[in-house]
Chains A and B, each alone.
Chain A
């Protein structure tokens, strides 16, 4: 089964491009670095350790898999494993035990990538599969214990907590204790629960209780939609996964990728656009009164939109297909956020759309030049 060196054969015409897998992947790594700086600033050196462990595990797992399958081990250094490892780490809470990124990344590489034949053959994004694996295996570790930003180097009480809501706004919310330790999207989810309880109370004829519940939900919602909260979310001063919080630094990475010609804007723009529009349609308490800005800034949609929706292997290749993919993923994200069991639906929406990518490609395949449309 020794790998023999073969000549690459392909039909003409050929276009020479200066891009190689390695170059693209290292551009992605560079684009991920600003967000890593933010993670280290807000969540402490531990964030750095988790990202490093994850990336290192990815390379080692890739190396072992290639060795086992008797394929050239140099593939392990093409950068794609490092990207997978870093992205998985960016999807973890900062407080996870250090073995968690190790087994998550090992699973992502071994089952999500190499079992399907390595880079270019995996059907779903390996980093997201690793996250789904960890969510199913260690739900409590993955969804509890969000660290407050900057808590690691501050001895005093962390005024902004994990919710991203500024302290002066916190004091206006009745029973603010209930939302301590929750991420911005968790807090939003709680307002939906409060709405449901209020509706129940109203049905039972308990108007005063219903009113106090509604007041609480509205108070939290207005605190989430104020400028100081937007600012916290923009710079990353809120609880959440390591790499998802600092929107501004993720966007710096995105600009770099666009300049390098690696990031094609159709996917992220259609994805984030759909999220924003649907956030306005049903992301709030009723219809057509949601807060698109909050929904785009909170949670992982910026990280997902830049680095995962645009994954080259697992998303459609046709321009039309890419827009369909972005819209589908945005729709699923918002449906999960509003009605699902989890506060955030970014990763599952992308995984689900990954699975239908071949179908989208098939449906949107352009006609060959000169081909006559059937029944046209």
Chain B
């Protein structure tokens, strides 16, 4: 039962982006298209699962004084692995994600889950937590990326949705940096209203 709970909380109740407001750098930077968001989400989820698994497995061995350097080494290793494998087998995606793959190392979601969850919970729960958080992160990125790609380019997953007339004159700001911040604020505001309504009923 607690396994399911650990898994589901990351998707909405403790969504890393919308509720914990973590991992903003990749969230704002790579959400210019749904494809990028999915790739980044998959890579981050993979790293998150691996690091949560190892951190939880060795939680009684790693001395608490040096736990942060250990976590960083573990995370950095997996990020580098993902970077190399992606470069070798998915060069196009690797090119478009660019600098943001190495930056997964400093994505606060991953270190945050290692420090805040995996180092005091059993392996299975930690993996469930990682999968939930990863899906929550990916979902959040896909939501923002859908708006940005649709408004800024008229497409979804590179498929023309709004027609070529729109594509000639799209709302460019949506795929530029300011558009990410503006849309994020709208989404956060929407979730806050939702939460408030819920609170009012209880």
Which A residues lie at the B interface, using CB under 8 A? 103, 111, 115, 133, 136-139, 141
Chain B residues, CB < 8 A from A103: 171
**Distance between Cα atoms of A196 and B183 in the complex (Å):** 40
In the assembled complex, B70 has its CB within 8 A of some CB on chain A: no
Interface string of B27-38 (1 = CB under 8 A from A): 000000000000
In the assembled complex, B176 has its CB within 8 A of some CB on chain A: yes
Cβ contact within 8 Å between A133 and B173: yes
**Residue on A with the closest CB to B169?**
A138
18 A-B residue contacts at CB 8 Å? A103-B171, A111-B182, A115-B185, A133-B173, A136-B172, A136-B173, A136-B176, A136-B178, A136-B179, A137-B170, A137-B171, A137-B172, A137-B173, A137-B174, A138-B169, A138-B172, A139-B172, A141-B169
| B156-183 interface (Cβ within 8 A of A) | 169-174, 176, 178-179, 182
Within the complex, the shortest CB–CB distance from B174 to chain A, in Å, comes to 8
Which B residues lie at the A interface, using CB under 8 A? 169-174, 176, 178-179, 182, 185
Chain B residues, CB < 8 A from A139: 172
**Distance between Cα atoms of A111 and B171 in the complex (Å):** 15
Most buried by A among B170, B171, B176: B171
Main SS class of interface, A: helix
**Distance between Cα atoms of A103 and B176 in the complex (Å):** 18
**Distance between Cα atoms of A361 and B170 in the complex (Å):** 39
**Distance between Cα atoms of A133 and B174 in the complex (Å):** 10
7 interchain residue pairs of minimum CB distance: A137-B173, A136-B173, A137-B172, A137-B171, A136-B176, A133-B173, A136-B178
Chain B residues, CB < 8 A from A136: 172-173, 176, 178-179
**Distance between Cα atoms of A115 and B182 in the complex (Å):** 11
**Residue on A with the closest CB to B171?**
A137
**Residue on A with the closest CB to B200?**
A1
Within the complex, the shortest CB–CB distance from B188 to chain A, in Å, comes to 12
Chain A residues, CB < 8 A from B176: 136
Within the complex, the shortest CB–CB distance from B199 to chain A, in Å, comes to 13
**Distance between Cα atoms of A136 and B176 in the complex (Å):** 8
Chain A residues, CB < 8 A from B185: 115
Within the complex, the shortest CB–CB distance from A124 to chain B, in Å, comes to 13
4 additional contacts (CB under 8 A) given A136-B173, A141-B169: A115-B185, A137-B172, A138-B172, A139-B172
Chain A residues, CB < 8 A from B171: 103, 137
**Distance between Cα atoms of A133 and B171 in the complex (Å):** 9
**Residue on B with the closest CB to A103?**
B171
Within the complex, the shortest CB–CB distance from A176 to chain B, in Å, comes to 31
Chain A residues, CB < 8 A from B169: 138, 141
Most buried by A among B169, B178, B182, B185: B169
**Distance between Cα atoms of A139 and B172 in the complex (Å):** 9
**Distance between Cα atoms of A138 and B176 in the complex (Å):** 12
**Residue on B with the closest CB to A132?**
B178
**Distance between Cα atoms of A115 and B190 in the complex (Å):** 13
**Distance between Cα atoms of A253 and B171 in the complex (Å):** 35
